[in-house]
Amino acid sequence: MSKSKQILPEDTLIIWNKHPVNEYRKFFQQATGEKEIITGSMDFQNWLFSQAGKTLAEALEEYLHPAGHESIADFLTERRFDKISTSEKDFIVAFDKEISKFGYDFGGAIISGNIFSPMVIIYGKSNTKSKTCAARIYINDTGIVFRMFFQKVDLHRQYIENAPPHIKEAFMSETGRCTFCWQNCTSRPKPYTIDGEEIQKCHHHTFYFDKPSVEKLPDYINLFAEFYPLKKVRCIL
């Protein structure tokens, strides 16, 4: 059998852009004997990448016998999350609980990210068709990377200037600063000013928070409340 006709082996990891979607589909068609792979409310590609980090054998088991996970804590019990520490899992669960108070959730799926981050948890507004991304937690072989999304930073200058160092650093660090490599770049937000310094970063490199932890979570949530305010929102940990 030629290489192009081979079926992916069951120990193949599901990773974004590693293999064409149709190659994954062929595995399921052969394994189930079904011509069409029906995955409920999601099309096959979206369902497949909600299985990111699993082997095809594990994804096949989920396809045949859906686990029906409801909470983020349930998802984190899966083998694909063994690569992250207990403290990182604790942070994810605690952040999920707190951001839900603002009406944001992860949509019930942990999806495929990219080569840098094979899995990503994306938080958007609950019960809306268009989920504006408010935060992401990237998961890779070295742990988790925490990111939140903010606009109109200048309106919150005083808050940021008086924030703890691990909050302020995300806005002032050299990481991701625009180098103006492309004059017509659409990923270049307007600059903002902190402590009298004008800062302009690439949209793809804002705003990352180093070494997230449960201990830092109140500061993250208070920052989130500054940009995404709700009436009488309080962070109680």
User: Among 40, 66, 92, which residue terminates a domain?
Assistant: 66
Contacts of 152 (CB under 8 A, 6+ apart): none
The answer on 75 and 144 residing in a single domain is yes
pLDDT in tens, 151-165: 999 999 999 999 999
Give the pLDDT score at 1: 40
Looking at the 3D structure of the chain, how many domains does it have? Answer: 3
Buried-exposed string 115-150: b where 16+ CB fall within 10 A, e elsewhere = eebbbbbbbbbeeeeebeebbbbbbbeeebbbbbeb
Give the pLDDT score at 233: 43
The answer on 196 and 158 residing in a single domain is yes
pLDDT in tens, 121-177: 999 998 876 667 999 999 988 899 999 999 999 999 999 999 999 999 999 999 889
In terms of residue numbers, what domain contains 56? 1-66
Are 144 and 91 in contact, with CB atoms under 8 Å apart? yes
Residue 236 lies in a domain: no
